[in-house]
Chain A
Amino acid sequence: MTLSRRGFLCRSAAAGALLSMPLKAFAQSGEMGMLRVAVYTDMVGYDPIVTTSNIAAYHGALVYDMLFGNDENQMPHPQMVGDYTISEDKLTWTMTLRDGLTFSDGSPVTTADVIPSILRWQARASQNGKLLAAATQELVALDDRTFQFKLKEPFPLLAAMLGSPATPLCFIMRKREAEMDPAQAVDVCIGSGPYVLNTQETRPGIDYVYDRNPNYVPREEPASGLSGAKIANFERVILVNMPDAQTAIAALQAGEIDFYEIPPIDFLPVLESDSNLKVADIMKSGTEGSIILNWLQPPFDNLKVRQAMLYAIDQEAVLKGLFGDPNWFNAHPSWFTYGSPLYNEANSEWFRIAPDPEKAKQLLAEGGYDGTPVVLLQATDRQVNADAVTIIAQQMRAAGFNVQIDAIDWATLLQRRPNKGPVSEGGWNAFVSTFNGFISSNPYTFGHMATIGENGWFGWPSDERNEELKAAWMKAETPEERVAIAAEIQENAWNIVPRVSYGHWVQPVAYRSNLDGFVSIPGVLAFWNVKRV
């Protein structure tokens, strides 16, 4: 076949036009009425009460509402509650639901829904709900809109716990779902929040479609944290499950998504250099890295060996290895989250000295450590976790520990960590975990701060003094009193070393620069009030 020059030019022009045609089609941002959010992990069902996972809280915050909402300073404000009163003896809290509350199926929200919702939440909540349940004598409905907490003893934090962002949050469900077994996930998703899950268009494991709830009446106060007006500016919010960070970032750059939940820190310079994108720390709580020590098995059943860990770990080196840019992390000596109201530096001389391998070796010798291998679990499919273990293990070796890393996947680690037995029976000595900065910022949300032995969280530390101080903190009336007791809690904590910190870091989000109006809630991404400008 021969091709004339004219024919060649015509075909070249046509090919060029064809190639350039779709250029605009894929370079545009999302539709005006739609917000597309890429999330790193998939949901594990539609029940935000049955799980402590953050993604379930994002879902819950869209679909359900709460009785109280804590603001950005963690002060509680009525949300579904209109008015509430506290009796003079502080033993009776009477709450009335505000006008216009309806579920997305059109049925009104009544106390018949509220009371079983609270009870179900209490059954699942790690610490705060259980503390409230223990302090409650009776929870009774006075009529369809009014109910009462009758307490055994004054409980000043009652409203703050109902409005807390600690997972699981106290979301209000319909009576039908709220009365289900707390160990069984609810099978339908009907709430009274600003959005409704569109089950027809949702594809489990792929994307979750939320449409504006036409029945929702927002409060009039300005939004702050979980409190105030929740305005559904977008007609539709879609949570897209996008586990691959590279793909999510490319999609954000190309404008195919509007928001990405967890951009890896090493990608941030690329994102920050793009004028169409913004990188920001929205949740403002950060993450605390923690080394969980098994108190039930040698060698960490020995106080001196646990104290040696304080001198073995160089937080700065671990964090630098993990994140590189010091703008995103902080080495610190506090038992409480860096920058939180209870943050303090009591009893932290070790931090000024650490790392000090010689001091650690001395403590190991005093504790009689005989070189028995310390099994450190490493979840290889969690990047931060895996890298942290590699660095921490090396620091422990330099301090005289004989460390054996057991590399497994996250699912296996979750299965293995309840094993209280010795290593020879499938147990463990230490693992690395990360805590949302909010839940480790105070004793009532932080179940991991419990020192109640085998009935507590993994690691099973045991210390009566810590429990007494926590109880005193709970009863304190003023923020000043709480700060003072927090310093005592920390003083005691670093004497007994329930666990070891490897620092605090911030996980920013990335989004298209034409978005505005995000509210700051520790550990929870909420998309009400967000708008395209």
Chain B
Amino acid sequence: MLGHFIKGLTTAIPVMAVVAIIVFLLLFLAPGDPAAIMAGENATADTIAQLRVALGVDQPIHLRFWNWLSPILHGDLGNSIYWRQSVVSLIGQRAGPTISLAVTTLFVSVCTAVTLGVIAAARVNSRLDRAIMGFAVIAFSVPTFVVGYLLMFVFAVRLGYLPVQGYKPISAGFWPWLSHLILPSLTLGTVYVALIARITRASMLEVLSEDYIRTARAKGVPRRSILFRHALKNAAVPIATIVGNGIAILISGVVITETVFNVPGIGRLVVDAIARRDYPIIQGVTLLFAGVYVCINLLVDISYRLFDPRIRY
């Protein structure tokens, strides 16, 4: 397994290199000028031209690529055009809220979705099954920002139970930390719950029709034990796969959710950077997200053996 992990990491290096080159070229081809944005709407063309030189965005593509790539090879993602602060430190400042949001969303979503999927499969074609699947279809279809605004209006503005926006670190207390994460996590988790619940149900239905499940029932094994000990474990591989693939949905959802709830995380950082063409930040965060995605899928690969010992690498 360790060998497989190391091999996976080695394969990730060329993947990341390709991602880096594509991101750089896309940003280079994309229109927009950070000097014009920094100078402001009323600035003259001369002023903008001076700023372009000062910011180094007037250089040819090969020089800009090398200026960006050479520090990366030493683990440095460069400096923000606007803040002159290292991208690594800016990401570090924003990592806490995003990690908190992602972990709470992942935890709540997976627990809820797997439970709903198992219940729907156990009571297939019942009203409960239809209700759960109906919820899944709606949850998958409604845009994230709509869910966010609805939750914000009801629970924050109308009822005043939870804060509208912002983030408190856990050092400020458990409840302040959690209270600022509940609405964003529910918003972000809605699509994720729908996705995992549907896959769980489909996977469970397939397993529940197997001979060994019928045998277990014939032997009088309790229903709960059949569902959670026998069936769920064997249905786990597709669920783990979709949890891993769903990280991409989570990452794109983080960008929207952090904007709606004004959570100062990495999603907000990259949205602001895109609007202002702060290239080093966009490139740094994209590389980070790509790296996270590759690592999580590697971990999902490894987890297959835990669910199914027959799998060999």
Q: Do A and B bind each other?
A: yes
Query: Using a CB–CB distance below 8 Å, which chain A residues touch chain B?
Result: 19, 22-24, 26-27, 42, 44-45, 50-53, 56, 124, 126, 167, 181-185, 187, 203-207, 240-244, 246-247, 250-251, 253-254, 256, 381, 408-412, 414-416, 418, 433-435, 439, 447-448, 456-458
Closest approach, in angstroms, between the C-beta of A340 and any C-beta of chain B? 17
Chain B interface, number of residues (Cβ within 8 angstroms): 54
> Which of B79-87, B224-232, B294-302 is the interface stretch?
B79-87
In the complex, chain B residues whose CB is within 8 Å of the CB of A24: 160
**Counting chain A CB atoms within 10 Å of each CB, which of B33, B175, B262 scores highest?**
B262
The residue that B38 contacts in the complex, of A22, A45, A435, with Cβ under 8 A, is A45
Q: Which residues of B contact A19 (CB under 8 A)?
A: 161
Tell me the chain B residues, 188-239 only, with Cβ under 8 Å from chain A: none
Interface flags for B27-54 (1: CB within 8 Å of A; 0: not) read 0000111001111111111011111011
Which residues in window 153-168 of B have CB below 8 A to A?
153, 156-157, 159-166
Cβ-defined contact, B44 with A457, below 8 A: yes
Kindly state whether residue B260 has any CB partner on chain A within 8 Å.
yes
B24 close to A (CB within 8 Å): no
- Which A residues are in CB contact (< 8 Å) with B262? 240, 242, 244, 247, 251
Cross-chain contact of A254 among B45, B164, B264 (Cβ < 8 A): B164
Q: A205-B264, A411-B31, A411-B277 are in contact. Are A254 and B93 (CB under 8 A)?
A: no
**B90 at interface, CB cutoff 8 A:** yes
- Contact between A412 and B161 (Cβ–Cβ < 8 Å)? no
Residues of B within 8 A of A22 (CB): 160-162, 175, 179
Q: A409 to B32, Cβ gap below 8 A?
A: yes
**Nearest CB of chain A from residue B276's CB, rounded to whole Å:** 7
CB pair A254–B156 under 8 Å, yes or no, is yes
Contacts of B41 in A (CB 8 A): 52-53, 414, 433-434
Cα A246 to Cα B256 in complex, Å, equals: 13
Q: Quick check: B31 and A256 within 8 Å, CB to CB?
A: no
Q: Give the complex CA separation of A251 and B260 in angstroms.
A: 11
Query: For the complex, what is the distance from the CA of A181 to the CA of B55, rounded to whole Å?
Result: 12
**B161 and A23 contacting across the interface, CB-CB below 8 Å:** yes
Report which of B93, B163, B261, B277 forms a contact with A203, defined as CB distance below 8 A.
B93
Instruction: Provide the residues of chain B in CB contact with A44, threshold 8 Å.
Output: 37-38, 40, 82, 276
Listed stretches B63-71, B100-108, B267-275, B282-290; interface member: B267-275
Is the Cβ of A204 less than 8 Å from the Cβ of B85?
Answer: yes
B304 CB contacts on chain A under 8 angstroms: none
Cβ–Cβ contact B164 & A256, under 8 A: yes
Residue among A124, A247, A434 with most chain B CB within 10 A? A247
Distance in angstroms from A185 CB to nearest chain B CB is 8
Contact residues in A for B272 (Cβ distance below 8 Å): 42, 205, 241, 243
The answer, yes or no, to whether B149 is at the interface (CB within 8 Å) is yes
B109 within 8 A of A: no
Measured between C-beta atoms, what is the minimum distance from B227 to chain A in Å?
17
Please provide the 7 A-B residue pairs with the shortest distance between their CB atoms, ordered closest to farther.
A52-B40, A411-B32, A414-B36, A415-B33, A206-B264, A183-B50, A412-B31
Chain B residues near A246: list those with CB within 8 A.
149, 152, 260
Q: Which residues of A are found within 8 Å of B32, using beta-carbon distances? A: 409, 411-412, 414-415
**C-alpha spacing A448/B42, complex, angstroms:** 8
B31 and A242: CB pair below 8 A?
Answer: no
Q: Mark B132-152, 1 if CB is under 8 A from A, else 0.
A: 000000000000000001001
CB of B185 within 8 A of chain A? no
CB distance from B281 to the nearest CB of A (A): 9
Known contacts A203-B93, A205-B272, A256-B166; is-contact A23 B159 (Cβ 8 Å): yes
Q: Report B-chain residues with C-beta under 8 Å of the C-beta of A50.
A: 38-39, 51
Residues of A within 8 A of B38 (CB): 44-45, 50-51, 185
Task: Judge whether B165 and A242 touch: CB under 8 Å.
Answer: yes
**Given A51-B38, A52-B41, A411-B37: A27 and B163 interface contact (C-beta under 8 Å):** no
B84 touches A414 (CB 8 A): no
17 other contacts beyond A44-B37, A254-B156, A416-B31, with CB at 8 A cut-off? A26-B163, A44-B38, A56-B40, A126-B42, A167-B40, A181-B54, A187-B84, A204-B82, A204-B83, A205-B90, A205-B268, A247-B262, A250-B164, A256-B164, A256-B166, A418-B36, A457-B44
